[in-house]
Amino acid sequence: MRVRILSLCAAVLVGSAITGCATDDGDTGGTAPATVAAVDHLYGTTTVDGTPDRIVATSSQWVDALLEFDVQPVGYISAGTMGDDRGLYPWQQAVSADAVELDAGNIAAGQGPLPTEEIAALEPDLILGNWQITDRSAYDTLAAVAPTVAPLSGAVDPWDDQIRALGVLLGREDDADRIVADRNAEIDEYALPGLDGRTAVLSQFLFGPQQFVLVADPGDGAATVFEQIGMTLPPSLVEEAGVSMGRLTLSPERVDALVADLLIILPNGGTEADLMALPGFDQLPAVRSGALAVLDYPTVVAFNTPSAASALYGLDAIRPQLEAVAAA
């Protein structure tokens, strides 16, 4: 596989330009021209020549996207102690035992660099990355190893954008459309009557630095899962976040930011009882109505960096809270 720069053959799809086109390098001797696929992302355009078959996934989202196409990664970034004995989340049991678990320290928690040397040793012909590629320099380092896809947008990528991008890179756009349609139909089953227009907050409380971290961008992939089942972020939260990228970080005194019909939260470094001890937490509307979901790390990850498979796993886990909101 080789990287090519394409100046033409572009199309815009779901917020990022994704295109597959044929190139003619001259006399092909009667054979079909080579296929070059291109995907635009935060740091430019990644092109691949031919169909990649040695793919490294640097996030759980991309692992899940590959599995939707029945494609196995040659390597994946481990969830470490937050996953099972292979560093995988509960919904990822279809990952082959031959896939190499790549240790990146605490990358699952957003810390530590990607292990470039370990990735290079796998001789990939495509590297799939998103929020772990934190800047242009990190992208350039990986792109020197193999064609690399960086974040498709500035926030956590919506899972369907990733499916469509991967469909282009694999030359399987029709399969991508089918996967998105089938998975959307499954997610739609959680759009209970009574959820439309209700508000949801996805958050964690870090007991070490004493901070709430909240999803506050409607374009964030973590927010779009709730949008699909009819729910929205609280308008006041979106307004407070403004044009800032990423997640909103607030002090423990700002428990008012958690006012919503549904509250999903990870007590990171503590327990549910510790959350209840925070001033005002036990008086939140979701706590009083039975729509509080205090989740473990894997289940919060299922929402925080969602794929279709993880979203379904998470939605199933909070069905009682969804039903409480719908019935209120």
CATH 3.40.50.1980 in the chain, residue ranges:
12-187, 192-327
- Other CB atoms within 10 A of residue 121 CB: 13
d(CA 126, CA 109) in angstroms, rounded, equals 24
pLDDT for residue 15:
34
Predicted confidence band of residue 81 (pLDDT cuts 50, 70, 90):
confident
Name the residue type at position 174: D
pLDDT for residue 133:
86
pLDDT for residue 43:
92
CATH entry, 12-187, from 1.10.1740.10, 3.40.50.1980, 3.40.50.1100, 3.40.50.300? 3.40.50.1980
More confident of the two residues 281 and 131: 281
Predicted confidence band of residue 105 (pLDDT cuts 50, 70, 90):
low
> What would the mean pLDDT of 131-148 be, rounded to a whole number?
91
Q: Topology of domain 192-327, per CATH?
A: Rossmann fold (3.40.50)
Average pLDDT for the chain:
87
d(CA 301, CA 214) in angstroms, rounded, equals 13
* Cβ atoms of residues 295 and 317 within 8 Å: yes
Closest CA to 203 of 302, 280, 304, 52: 304
pLDDT per residue over 193-231, tens digit each?
Answer: 999 999 999 999 999 999 999 999 998 889 999 999 999
Provide the whole-model pTM. 0.85
End-to-end CA distance of the chain: 56
d(CA 87, CA 108) in angstroms, rounded, equals 10
pLDDT(129) > 50: yes
> What would the mean pLDDT of 62-69 be, rounded to a whole number?
98
pLDDT for residue 49:
92
pLDDT for residue 215:
93
pLDDT per residue over 245-267, tens digit each?
Answer: 568 999 999 999 999 999 999 99
pLDDT per residue over 140-167, tens digit each?
Answer: 999 999 999 999 987 789 999 999 999 9
Q: How many CA atoms lie within 13 A of 17 on its CB side?
A: 15
Backbone angles phi, psi at 300, to 5 degrees: -70, -40
pLDDT per residue over 176-190, tens digit each?
Answer: 999 999 999 999 999
pLDDT(291) > 80: yes
